[in-house]
Amino acid sequence: MADGEASLADQMAATTLTCGSESSIKWSKFSRRVLIRTIVSRPDGGVGLAGQKVAVGGWVKTGREQGKGTFAFLEVNDGSCPANLQVIVDSFVAPLSQLVHTGTCIFVEGELKKPPVGTKQNVELRVEKVIDIGPVDPAKYPLPKTRLTLEFLRDHVHLRAKTNTISAVARIRNALAFATHTFFHSNDFLYVQTPIITTSDCEGAGEMFQVTTLFSDTEKVEKELKQNPAPSEAEVEAGKLLVKERGDAVKSAKASKQDITTSLVELTKAKEHLAKLEERFKLKPGLPQKDGKIDYSNDFFSRQAFLTVSGQLQVETFACALSNVYTFGPTFRAEHSHTSRHLAEFWMVEPEIAFADLEDDMKCAEEYVKFLCQWLLDHCLDDMQFMVKNFDKTAIDRLKLVSSTPFQRISYTEAVKLLENVTDKKFENKVEWGIDLSSEHERYLTEVIFKRPVIVYNYPKGIKAFYMRLNDDMKTVAAMDVLVPKVGELIGGSQREERYDVIEKRIFEMGLPFEPYEWYLDLRRYGTVKHSGFGLGFERMVLFATGLDNIRDVIPFPRYPGRADL
């Protein structure tokens, strides 16, 4: 580019032509380009933009030279939508061999044109200038344009967002996250960020990742001792004797002022030397022990700490002061499971509602799930159509069903009776009162018996957490699960036990330590309030929406036993 010559992108940066006009083009405010979505996702497919000059950036999905190498067709995608923009580059504009390989990044300027009659594109870009190229060596690029399995992509997690499937999942996931904040904000909930590091186990199952610096501290000590061994007890005693001698010299009545000053300096040096000896003498290889157990008083937090399995307990503290709140963040479970439904790190949406009972909780959960489904239909239909075409033909119909159909509500006891009477299917897990319903039971209820979402409530207390409110029958708790087709349990929630004496007894019955929950009990001691809440597994919601089979494919960076890439 010649000195003083401004590119089209510079000229049009942050500029938007008249909105709503037939030829309107929206320029990105921060990257001096036009998003491909704003071209190809218009109702007319971009035809009305023909003749407009634009700059676009993206990655080549497919490319091929034509006309004996005089020009090239490129299918370019920038991640803003599932559709590609066809880009035509003449050989006199740029070397075609640098542009046509799958994965190549290009930033180009040109004019949008109507393609010849009979072609499937509504609009194409004729390139006039190539601003930048991010080349690819096709012999080494691990994502060829052939169809790739999702299992294969898990081994290339840092590159898989470049594929059509993972980019579509990312946009659907983004839409669901935005919809979540929209729903709760519009219903007067406050967003609270709860801690990732905690000292309490919300579920009481003990399957938590521990957070500690003891191992790294121990490694440092062992390395230090190897380089510079700890002093012996005799060396420490010699140091103490030297301090005593220097002290006696200071106290000597016959010493001159100058001698006393010299002795004070020597005493100070002797004390510093003794302090270092005693400090190093305490260094021992291995983890610190006390009464035959690991001594966590020397750990970073001076006690055992873990990665949270839920932000619920902490967010309750704000519900008991600010009424309606929610948290949305990562949670962790150290469960050695390799099923298609488990992750070690996953995200949870957890609202908490003050002055609300189980009925209020179920109503909120139902409206929230319906809102999410309708949001995807309204704002993410092109990506949902991609999922229907490539993975699950029923995905959009399932969203329509859930968004428009009242949820069926039945008690746990009623659900068990229905399942016990099933004759057309043999369950792998026996059905009887007191069991925790498995995925096969949940899906049978929602997919076969009721053919709609189902809320099961009033579960046996023995299979639920200590904080769920005990019902008057003393056998069940005011808990509820929202079951949906394809996934089974999507939401788990309950009315919380607000009575101090009852929750104290529940903690004791379940064999949990009281000390980590003292602060939680304070919420019942000081201004207790009836409150309810639930947790939605965010990845399960994405799984439900997309129709994919493995939860590892709906989170950007999956963590599971043996894998923590990046």
DSSP states of 74-107: EEEE-SSSS--EEEEEETTTS-GGGTSSTT-EEE
Contact of 378 with 426, CB cutoff 8 Å: no
Residue 204 binned pLDDT confidence (cut-offs 50, 70, 90): low
pLDDT at 3: 45
Q: Can you tell me the mean pLDDT for 516-536?
A: 96
What pLDDT was estimated at residue 276? 78
pLDDT of residue 117: 86
**How confident is the model over 9-29, as a mean pLDDT?**
60
Decide: pTM greater than 0.75: yes
128-155: average pLDDT: 92
Q: In the chain, what percentage of residues exceed pLDDT 70?
A: 94
In total, the chain counts a number of residues equal to: 566
Q: Where are the domains of the chain?
A: 8-146, 166-211+304-553, 214-298
- pLDDT-based confidence at residue 23 (cuts at 50, 70, 90): low
CA distance 326 to 348: 10
- Would you say residue 105 has pLDDT above 90? yes
* Per-residue pLDDT at 92: 96
Residue 372: enclosing H or E segment and its boundaries? helix 358-379
Check whether 554 has a pLDDT greater than 70. Answer: yes
Structural class in CATH, domain 166-211+304-553: alpha beta
Mean pLDDT, all residues of the chain: 91
β partners of residue 289:
294
**Higher pLDDT, residue 1 or 432:** 432
The label of the residue with tokens 């169809």 reads 147
Q: Which of 3-17, 323-337, 476-490, 506-520 has the lowest mean pLDDT?
A: 3-17
Two tokens at 153?
Answer: 């992509």
Exposed / middle / buried, residue 428 (Cβ in 10 Å: 0-12, 13-18, 19+)? exposed
Q: Which amino acid is at 556?
A: P
538-551 pLDDT, tens digit each: 999 999 999 999 99
The pLDDT value recorded for residue 8 is 61
Average pLDDT of the residues in 550-557: 97
Other beta carbons less than 10 A from residue 251's beta carbon = 9
> Taking the CB of residue 515, how many other CB atoms lie within 10 A of it?
10
φ/ψ (deg, to 5) at 452:
-165, 170
Contact in structure between 309 and 207 (CB atoms under 8 Å): yes
Burial class (CB in 10 A: 0-12, 13-18, 19+), 130: middle
Mean pLDDT of 411-427: 96
Mean pLDDT over 380-400 rounds to 97
Q: What is the pLDDT of residue 16?
A: 46
Q: What's the burial of 313, exposed, middle or buried (CB within 10 Å: 0-12/13-18/19+)?
A: buried
pLDDT at residue 12, as a whole number: 56
Q: Which residues of 68-85 are buried (b: 16+ CB within 10 A; e: fewer)?
A: eeebbbbbbbbbbbbbbb
Place of tokens 């880009």: 87
Q: What is the pLDDT of residue 14?
A: 43
Cα separation of 293 and 304, whole Å?
12
In the predicted model, is pLDDT for residue 367 greater than 80? yes
State residue 399's pLDDT score: 97
CATH class entry, domain 8-146: mainly beta
Please give the average per-residue pLDDT across 406-426, as a whole number: 96
Asked whether the predicted pLDDT for residue 1 surpasses 50, the reply is no
The structure tokens 């009481």 sit at: 204
Q: Which residues pair with 165 in a beta bridge?
A: none
The secondary structure of residue 49, as a DSSP letter, is G
Side-chain half-sphere CA neighbours of 342 within 13 A: 12
Crossing angle for the helix pair 518-525 and 500-509, nearest 10 degrees? Answer: 160
Q: How confident is the model at residue 200 (pLDDT cuts 50, 70, 90)?
A: confident
Closest CA to 384 of 207, 548, 214, 216: 548
Chain segment 225-279, per-residue pLDDT in tens: 777 887 788 887 888 888 888 888 777 756 677 777 787 888 888 888 888 777 7
CA pair distance 62, 143, nearest whole angstrom: 12
Q: Of the candidates 374, 362, 448, which has an alpha carbon nearest to the alpha carbon of residue 405?
A: 374
pLDDT per residue over 68-89, tens digit each? 999 999 999 999 999 999 999 9
Mean pLDDT of the 402-420 span:
97
Element of type H or E holding 328: strand 324-332
Taking alpha carbons only, the member of 143, 138, 120, 145 closest to residue 62 is 145
Tokens of 21: 């006009």
What distance in Å separates the CA atoms of residue 85 and residue 103, rounded to the nearest whole number?
15
Instruction: Report the alpha-carbon distance of residue 359 to residue 373 in Å, rounded.
Output: 22
Are 445 and 454 in contact by the 8 Å Cβ rule? The answer is yes
Give the pLDDT of residue 20.
42
Is 313 within 8 Å of 467 (Cβ atoms)? yes
Q: Residue 476 pLDDT more than 70?
A: yes
